Amino acid sequence: MKRTFSTLSLVTLVVCFLVDPSGAQQKQPPGAKIEAKRLPDLPAGQDRPTIPAPIDINSVKEFNRVLGTCLGHDDKPVDGASVQLFGKTSGRKGKKDAYELVASAETGRDGKFAFENLQTRFKTNKFEKYFILAIRKKGFATKFLTSLVWGTNQPEIKLSRRAMIKGVIKNELGKPVSGARVSMYNPLQEILPDVYATKSGKDGRFQIGDYHTINSTPFRTRDGKLRGSMSVRLRVEHPDYGRVALRVERTPNLFNVTISRGAKFTGQIVDDNGQPVAGCKVSLQSHSRENSSVWFETTSSKGGKFQITMSPHIRANLFFDKENLSGRAIELYGKPGLKTDLGKLKLVKPIVVRGVVIDDETNKPIKLKEKLSMYHIGWHGPNRPKTSARISSTTIQKDGTFECHLLPGINYPYVATSVLQMLGRPYKDGIEITPDSKVKLEFRVRRRKINDR
């Protein structure tokens, strides 16, 4: 729930899209003044169309302009606010969402902004149906408008004035820690890393001044409605101390953060020939289910070397992977101040093991329709031990076959989808895989009573 007051800043955002009757794109001359014009109202009961994802921007002529107006808490226009439009790119299966900056603008004295001729600004043709607007202005909280759909109007967006989050960071000896990165969640962390983030100074003090008001304690407004907001996490991380997460329930707030010196691990990633491997992803994930979100990550250098620090008193697995290569996970414990050299860690090429999923009703390989991303075979193994919440997986094909890439050793494959019910546990005790193995996996399943598409 969002906290609302009459003293909060108000940003009225009207996102509109114009249709060019001629179908031709009109280029805006450099330095030309952009004026926002009101779109004609649609007939009653008719909504502006939405575009399914993914879309081909070059073929879309209906949505070529984005307009908006920013107003302050006194209903006066906000001049000089930075507005950035980010499109969500497609074609990155199995990876994190990626956003691309499409266009930037600033509000004028009238508080208006406009993005013209958007089709000419796209660096790629394929986008998902969602986009994000980021609005930044000194004295106001930075606002991300997420999951906006091309071709739809947006409701009024209310922004609070900026709320200060201050504090001091000290180690277990009570001495200030400088250079610690303090941040809140940001949907565009990779593109705008300075939003909702700062670093502690020499005296250990930090201040985040662009976040919005938080009050997780429910309260009643004058009209009797119950209001409140969800608490958020404040993350503190330092190369020598690992990472600490704190819960923020109210702003403004003052935090006294104590971080203990973490455990530091070094090593070198090599291939089968003992040659260094650069760009290998090295990560640590804690054991326990309740702390499985404790995650540390780095990348090996040109010489294959890496250094990673994790918080103290945590048991974790160290993973290292690059493309189709993987290494055996290593179990580690974060002893405070411990420095350990893990030596050379070898990447191994997995062994391809094929299999089939049998439909129990037909006694034949299962036939699947659309949305194959719903159907997976998962497994624990030497590179993904059972002590971790992380697994490896592969997609079941339309004809019921699948292909696993398993490391030599004991592996534990299973049907990792809620759409199919696995009958029995054929590989409960694991199956040993060797380079000479001629194993074919087989699972017998029943379809659950839900849409199997």
Residues 6+ apart with CB under 8 A from 331: 315, 316, 317, 318, 385, 387
Lowest-confidence segment of 6-10, 110-114, 448-452 by average pLDDT: 6-10
* pTM to 2 decimal places: 0.61
pLDDT band at 29 (very low <50, low <70, confident <90, very high): very low
Residues 6+ apart with CB under 8 A from 402: 354, 355, 356, 357, 377, 394, 395, 396, 441
| Averaged confidence pLDDT in the chain | 77
* Per-residue model confidence as pLDDT tens digits over 258-288: 888 888 999 999 998 999 999 999 998 887 5
Residue 252's Cα: distance from chain center in Å? 27
* Per-residue model confidence as pLDDT tens digits over 290-336: 454 557 888 999 999 999 988 888 888 999 999 889 999 999 988 88
CA distance 160 to 172: 36
29 vs 369, more confident: 369
* Per-residue model confidence as pLDDT tens digits over 94-106: 455 678 888 888 8
pLDDT band at 158 (very low <50, low <70, confident <90, very high): low
The pLDDT value given to residue 129 = 64
CA distance 231 to 213: 10
The pLDDT value given to residue 36 = 33
The pLDDT value given to residue 32 = 34
* Per-residue model confidence as pLDDT tens digits over 331-362: 998 888 889 999 999 999 999 999 999 999 99
Region 130-142: what's the mean pLDDT?
86
pLDDT band at 128 (very low <50, low <70, confident <90, very high): low
Region 10-29: what's the mean pLDDT?
37
Q: State yes or no: pLDDT of 401 exceeds 70.
A: yes
Percentage above 90 pLDDT, the chain: 32
What amino acid occupies position 147?
A: S
The pLDDT value given to residue 248 = 82
The pLDDT value given to residue 112 = 83
Region 367-380: what's the mean pLDDT?
83
The pLDDT value given to residue 46 = 38
pLDDT band at 64 (very low <50, low <70, confident <90, very high): low
Lowest-confidence segment of 158-172, 295-309, 323-337, 432-446 by average pLDDT: 158-172
Percentage above 70 pLDDT, the chain: 72
Phi, psi of 56 (to 5 degrees): -100, 105
Q: Which domains, from first to last, does the chain contain?
A: 10-158 (no CATH), 163-259 (2.60.40.1120), 263-346 (2.60.40.1120), 351-447 (2.60.40.1120)
Q: State yes or no: pLDDT of 217 exceeds 70.
A: no
CB 413, CB 379: distance < 8 Å: yes
Instruction: Tell me which long-range contacts 72-78 makes (C-beta under 8 A, separation of at least 24).
Output: 72/9, 72/10, 72/140, 73/7, 73/8, 73/9, 73/10, 73/161, 75/10, 76/111, 77/107, 77/108, 77/109, 77/110, 77/111, 77/112, 78/9, 78/11, 78/107, 78/111, 78/137, 78/140
The pLDDT value given to residue 338 = 85
The pLDDT value given to residue 34 = 32
The pLDDT value given to residue 230 = 62
